[in-house]
């Protein structure tokens, strides 16, 4: 992914040479992603309820949808996190990928 913004030294972000149109297009795409995660999560929850009512809570489909629900809930949780938390997590992950890393791949 090519970033349109860069973290500013004092906090916040800069847009560099990018036009307002480019930034609005990226923001619109992000908002579409946010809404689609919420809509898909709602649909998965409805399907899980229907399967449970039908006595199919032990089926492979129910198990698969439960995994999808967990993934979508985690995505939504991350999308709802404050910006500083997200930026901090990204910095920590990048530090772990640096060449002088000790080889352990712990996720913080």
Looking at residue 103, its pLDDT comes to: 60
Looking at residue 87, its pLDDT comes to: 86
pTM here is: 0.77
Output the tens digit of pLDDT for each of the chain's 108 residues: 788 998 888 888 899 899 999 999 999 999 999 999 999 999 999 999 999 999 999 999 999 999 999 999 999 999 999 988 988 898 899 888 887 756 666 665
Q: Decide if 89 is inside a domain.
A: no
* 19: number of Cβ within 10 Å: 10
Q: Decide if 42 is inside a domain.
A: yes
Cβ proximity of 106 and 97 under 8 Å: no
CA-to-CA separations, 68 to 37, 40, 43, 54, 89, in angstroms, rounded: 11, 9, 11, 20, 23
State both tokens at 27. 């923001």
Looking at residue 84, its pLDDT comes to: 85
Give Cα 103 distance to the centre of its chain: 26
Cβ proximity of 28 and 108 under 8 Å: no
Domain of 28 in residue numbering reads as: 18-80
Looking at residue 58, its pLDDT comes to: 96
Q: Decide if 33 is inside a domain.
A: yes
β-pairing, 13-14 vs 6-7, is antiparallel
Give residues with Cβ within 8 angstroms of 16, minimum separation 6.
4, 5, 6
Tally of domains within the chain: 1
């Amino acid at each position: 992914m090519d970033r349109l913004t860069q973290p500013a030294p004092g906090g916040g972000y800069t847009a560099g040479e990018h036009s307002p149109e480019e930034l609005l297009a990226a923001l619109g795409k992000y908002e579409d992603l946010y809404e689609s995660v919420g809509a898909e999560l709602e649909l998965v929850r409805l399907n899980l309820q229907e399967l449970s009512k039908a006595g199919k809570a032990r089926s492979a489909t129910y198990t698969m949808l439960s995994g999808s629900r967990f993934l979508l809930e985690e995505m939504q949780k991350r999308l709802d996190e404050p910006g500083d938390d997200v930026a901090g997590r990204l910095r920590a992950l990048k530090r772990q990928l640096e060449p002088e890393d000790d080889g352990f791949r712990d996720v913080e």
